[in-house]
Amino acid sequence: MIKTPERSKSDASKEFAFNAHDFDRVRDLIYKKAGISLADSKQEMVYSRLARRLRATGISSFSEYLDNLECQQSGAEWEAFTNALTTNLTSFFREEHHFPILAEHIAKRKGPINIWCSASSTGEEPYSIAMTVCEAFGTLKPPAHIVATDIDTNVLATASRGVYGIDRIEKLSDERARKFFLKGKGEQEGLVRVRQELRDLITFKQLNLLADSWPLNTEFDAIFCRNVMIYFDKPTQGKILKKFLPLMKQDALLFAGHSENFLYVSDDFKLKGKTVYELASAHVANVRAGSRHPHKG
C-alpha cells in the first residue's frame, strides 16, 4: 500500500488528509466511471463532497476509501461517489429562449411526440419541457412522451416526486403556476407539487451517457443535452454526439447549453438557432440508417 504523505500546513485544519495523489485518483476514477473531467481548481470541492462519504462509511482516510472503491468496481458506494461529484444546477425554464423553439417545432408535427432530456437533474428541465408541450397543444394530455435521464439517482428521486419549495416557481407566470402546480397546505405549506398530468408525461430513469449501451429504443423529435457536455473532454463529447444520431428523427432538434458549442466537436450537426442544432446533411441520414437503434438496453 502507498504510504499517505503527511499533511501540509494548508491541510492541517482538515478533518481528513487529502493530497494531490488522492485528488488525481478521484479524477481518474470519476473520468472512467462518468466521463467527468475535473479541473485542477476542483480539489477543494472534491474534498468537501467526498469527506461526507468518509464520515458516512466510517473510513478514516481518502486512500482507504479509494482503495475500497477500486476493489468494488460497482455497487452502492460507487453510486454515492458518483452522485457526490455530480453538479446539478437547474431551474424551471432555464435558458428560456429554447422553449418557444421547441413549441414551434412540435406544434406542426403529427402523431406521438418523443423528447429526451438527457441530464434531467432534479426535474425542473423535463417539467419545463412538459409544460411547453401542454401549452403547444392546448391540453394537459398532449400526444407526447418525455424520457428524462440522469446518472445521479438522488436527483432522479427528487425529480420523480415533483415536489419543490414554492420559491422555485416564483419566476413563473401566475398562469403557469396555477395551471401546472398544486400548493401544499398544513404540514406541506411552502411546498408545491407538479400536477399529476404533467408527471404522467415523463418517464424518469438512470442513464450514464458513457455507458456502452443506452436503454432507449425510440426515435426522438428533440433531445435536450444542456450544460452537461462541459464536464466532458472533446473526444468524449464526440462519442456521445455520434451516439445521438440513430436516436434522432431526420428533422429532430438537439438543444445545447449556453456555453457549449458542438460545431467544434462534430460535423454531423449544423446550427439552427441559438445553441439549437439539427442534423447536418444527407450523409448523416445514411449513417443513421446503417446503425438503427444500436443502443437498446
Identify the weakest region by mean pLDDT among 99-113, 156-170, 174-188, 259-273.
Answer: 259-273
Percent of the chain with pLDDT over 70: 89
Q: Is 252 part of a structural domain of the chain?
A: yes
Burial status of residue 89 (CB atoms within 10 A of its CB: 0-12, 13-18, 19 or more): exposed
Residue 148 and residue 159: Cα distance in Å, rounded? 9
Residue 125 sits in the same domain as residue 178 = yes
Q: DSSP assignment, residue 111?
A: S
Q: Total structural domains in the chain?
A: 2
Residue range 119-145: mean pLDDT, rounded = 95
Q: Is 232 part of a structural domain of the chain?
A: yes
Q: If pLDDT is split at 50, 70 and 90, which confidence band does 74 have?
A: low
Provide the residue range defining the domain that includes 222.
98-290
pLDDT tens-place string over residues 134-177: 999 999 999 999 999 998 888 899 999 999 999 989 989 999 99
**105 versus 8: which is more confidently predicted?**
105
**Which of 42, 58, 84 is at the close of a domain?**
84
User: Please, what is the average pLDDT of the chain?
Assistant: 86
pTM of the model: 0.75
Reply yes or no on whether the pLDDT at 179 is more than 80. Answer: yes
- Number of Cβ within 10 Å of residue 117's Cβ equals 27
Reply yes or no on whether the pLDDT at 130 is more than 80. Answer: yes
Highest-scoring range by mean pLDDT, 86-95, 219-228, 286-295: 219-228
Can you count the helices (H) and strands (E) in the chain?
A: 11, 10
182 contacts: CB under 8 Å, gap ≥ 6: 192, 193, 195
Q: Is 1 part of a structural domain of the chain?
A: no
pLDDT score, position 2: 39
Reply yes or no on whether the pLDDT at 79 is more than 80. Answer: no
**Which of 32, 62, 84 is at the close of a domain?**
84
CA distances from 120 to 1, 97, 208, 276 (A): 40, 18, 12, 18
Residue 274 sits in the same domain as residue 171 = yes
Provide the edge-to-edge strand list for the sheet that holds 181-183. 163-165, 191-194, 181-183
pLDDT score, position 284: 59
Q: Is 279 part of a structural domain of the chain?
A: yes
Residue 78 sits in the same domain as residue 106 = no
Annotation marks residue 49 as catalytic:
yes
Residue 202 sits in the same domain as residue 57 = no
Q: Is 4 part of a structural domain of the chain?
A: no
Residue 44 grid coordinates: 477543494
Reply yes or no on whether the pLDDT at 297 is more than 50. Answer: no
Residue 103 sits in the same domain as residue 70 = no
Q: Is 2 part of a structural domain of the chain?
A: no
Q: Is 295 part of a structural domain of the chain?
A: no
**Which residue in 22, 27, 53, 150 is the catalytic one?**
150
pLDDT score, position 35: 73
Handedness of CA 170, 172, 177, 182 (dihedral sign): negative
Binning the chain into helix, strand and coil, the percentages to the nearest 5 are 45, 15, 35
What backbone torsions phi and psi does residue 136 show, to the nearest 5 degrees?
A: -65, -35
**Which residue in 7, 49, 109, 168 is the catalytic one?**
49
The residue type found at 62 is F
pLDDT tens-place string over residues 40-70: 888 888 898 898 888 888 888 998 999 988 8
Q: If pLDDT is split at 50, 70 and 90, which confidence band does 10 have?
A: very low
Residue range 230-250: mean pLDDT, rounded = 91
Residue 109 sits in the same domain as residue 232 = yes
Residue 52: CATH number of its domain? 1.10.155.10
Reply yes or no on whether the pLDDT at 288 is more than 70. Answer: no
Residue 79 sits in the same domain as residue 114 = no
Annotation marks residue 176 as catalytic:
no
Identify the weakest region by mean pLDDT among 64-73, 163-172, 181-190, 242-251.
Answer: 64-73
Q: Is 3 part of a structural domain of the chain?
A: no
